Amino acid sequence: MPLTTTLSESGRYDIVIEQPPVNAFSIGLLRDLTEAVRSLPPQARVAVLRSNGRGFCGGGDVKEVQALPGFEGILGHGRYSLEVCVAIEECPVPVIAAAHGYCIGIGVLVVGVCDIIVAAKGTQFVLAEADNGAASGVIQALGLLPEKRMRSAMFTSEAFTAEEMHRYGSVHSVTSAGDLVTSAQELAGTIAAKRPLVVRALKQSMNRSAGRDLVAKYRAELSYTYELNMTGDARAARATFVEGSREGYVPDRARGRCACPAGPAPRPAGRPFPAAPGCPHRCSGHGRRWMARRQWRPRTGWGTHAARGRSSGGWPAPSPQPGCRTRSRCIRTAGR
């Protein structure tokens, strides 16, 4: 299932998203998330929203929106993006967002309406509206960034980091990816230990004093997005991503291919994507180092040497082939 919920004995309500490969938020997932928040158990004292996988949210499911007939896709996405944001804001208990990896488009809006945010180091946030033909999400983004910084982020669709938002005070804490869940749960435990009626009343009080008027303002913003869809500009903008003429924002390593500027190299059958020429990062261990050490070990036997040489019997050659970059490894293995 793309979404699961659990309630701990202490009253922590965990909402966990898992929508491989990049946690793109489809219309169905937004609907389920809305229902999960609105179905808060009476015993819940605090909620924690997080995702499994390499990142919190890969954005809205642009391919789904583009594939649905007429305006069905954008209307569905607009409706449930509004409903999930309202559900989180009106949730009786505080909602803690735990973001890691990347948080794009609708994911930023969802995080922006949560009460508290904790994030893993280096988490990248992208307001991708300009690239995808949208003119909405401003009211949520203002919960994360100062106005002028928000404007530059939305006009350029360039990433900003958890560390930057921590300096603004928008992010409560920045921790390692491995400690993120524990950090969020410890924070939730602190809140859950308070008197529940006081916490609920305090959230309502803060919502009223903040005076964000989320429903009216976001609906007004959506009207501009719908207009762009009626003129055809929004569909043309989304098509650049669907057709591959524009790169997405999810790190290529999270999608299983090399992220270096030279572009992805061909993928060997049944193998992780190797690094393209000039790749500086080795694609999280699946790049040149992986290729040099492993390519001569296919699943069915030892097979082809990394430098395209082959010894008798399929074993690595006793001496490296011309151009081999794994000299010591090849010689050491050949004696086995």
CATH number of the domain at 234, please: 3.90.226.10
pLDDT of residue 259: 41
Average pLDDT of the segment spanning 26-41:
97
Bigger pLDDT: 206 vs 282: 206
The total domain count for the chain is 1
83 within some domain? yes
Structural domain that includes position 150: 3-240
pTM to 2 decimals? 0.76
Task: Please give the Cα distance from 125 to 19 (Å, whole number).
Answer: 18
283 within some domain? no
182 within some domain? yes
Average pLDDT of the segment spanning 83-110:
97
Mean pLDDT over each residue of the chain, to the nearest integer: 82
263 within some domain? no
pLDDT of residue 261: 38
Least confident of 108-117, 125-134, 303-312: 303-312
* pLDDT surpasses 50 at 292: no
179 within some domain? yes
Average pLDDT of the segment spanning 166-190:
97
38, burial (CB in 10 Å: exposed 0-12, middle 13-18, buried 19+) = middle
> What radius of gyration, in Å, describes the C-alpha atoms of the chain?
24
pLDDT of residue 250: 74
Task: Please give the Cα distance from 40 to 82 (Å, whole number).
Answer: 18
CB atoms within 10 A of CB 285: 10
**Per-residue pLDDT tens over the stretch 231-271:** 999 999 999 999 988 887 876 554 544 444 334 444 444 44
Average pLDDT of the segment spanning 144-151:
97
